[in-house]
Structure 1
């Protein structure tokens, strides 16, 4: 059964998006909101005004951005008194001004809806990414996460073990 699955079968067609002129703070807000429904969501698709793909901001990209503005090394190794609450508030203000351009994946893995699950799995392993976009006719139709493939794959494996 698993080998008959396609990207279409495992993709999520309800995925978070932001416009390419959004701030880092907006991407963080959108990802947090989407995690209420799907806690394992880890990406926000970035689209232009014509709904064309610009890139993807992942949870790892957000970590990198927050580290560069919030967790600066100069503060982490400071022997003096640091007002961490004030430092965090300042960093949050910086995040509202930061653009996504420097923190997004601009060449995401693109799959076709009919791509077999083995191709999906292969793309995860080759790119070392736990997600891929499903695209058809220049339009993003959905996103497939490694967790979705894992759940599907292990469901069949567990049945085979019995």
Structure 2
């Protein structure tokens, strides 16, 4: 069963995405909206118009880790937070968040996106996750994004086969 599964079988056709001109705030909003339906979603694709404008091309991605990196750089390291009085802290924190969230998306976008072909078998998907040290990959064909595969999807398939192999009478 394991070798029969392909990226196409694992991918999610519904995924969070924003235009390349979006701010970090728009990416965070898109990800939060996506997580309402699927809490394990952890990446927003950044798409741009192709030269003809008929399709959207993958430009990069912003993962939850990149959002946390932005919060660390822009908010948690804000020197004003270190000296803010308890009464000023909430206001200072809100200001730092507002500045952070409206920064350019390009600063936190990952351009080196792990890409799979629809027909790639599950072992290739797993190997890509491990080699790239990412919990997600984009499924693309002819420059067109078809979907996203998350590590949770791969785990679900692997664990189902593993549990099935240990059922009484399996493989006998």
Q: TM-score, normalised by structure 2?
A: 0.88
Q: Which residue of 1 aligns with 2:20?
A: 20
Aligned equivalents of 2:22 and 2:45: distance in 1?
11
Offset at 1:75? Answer: 5.3
Cα shift readout 1:66-111 (whole Å, capped 9, x = no counterpart): 11111116356x3662522112210232134201111011010110
Q: Which residue of 1 aligns with 2:170?
A: none
Q: Which residue of 1 aligns with 2:146?
A: 141
How large is the RMSD of aligned CA atoms in angstroms?
1.5
Which deviates more from structure 2 when the two are superposed, residues 48-57 or residues 15-24?
48-57
Q: Which residue of 2 aligns with 1:43?
A: 43
Q: Which residue of 2 aligns with 1:10?
A: 10
Note closer, same or farther for the CA distance 1:5–1:89 as it changes in structure 2 (3 Å cut): same
Query: Whose Rg is larger?
Result: 2
Offset at 1:118? Answer: 0.5
Cα shift readout 1:38-70 (whole Å, capped 9, x = no counterpart): 000000000013311110000000001111111
The answer to whether the aligner puts 1:109 opposite 2:114 as a matched pair is: yes
Q: Which residue of 2 aligns with 1:62?
A: 67
Given that 2:84 and 2:92 are in contact with CA atoms closer than 8 Å, whether structure 1 keeps it comes out as no
Aligned equivalents of 1:129 and 1:123: distance in 2?
8
Aligned equivalents of 1:10 and 1:47: distance in 2?
21
Which deviates more from structure 2 when the two are superposed, residues 83-92 or residues 18-27?
83-92
2:97 aligns with one of 88, 92, 95: 92
Unmatched runs of 5 consecutive residues or more in structure 2? 51-55, 168-172
Offset at 1:149? Answer: 0.4
Given that 1:121 and 1:149 are in contact with CA atoms closer than 8 Å, whether structure 2 keeps it comes out as yes
Given that 1:124 and 1:131 are in contact with CA atoms closer than 8 Å, whether structure 2 keeps it comes out as yes
The answer to whether the aligner puts 1:29 opposite 2:29 as a matched pair is: yes
Which deviates more from structure 2 when the two are superposed, residues 3-12 or residues 87-96?
87-96
Unmatched runs of 5 consecutive residues or more in structure 1? none
Given that 2:78 and 2:96 are in contact with CA atoms closer than 8 Å, whether structure 1 keeps it comes out as no
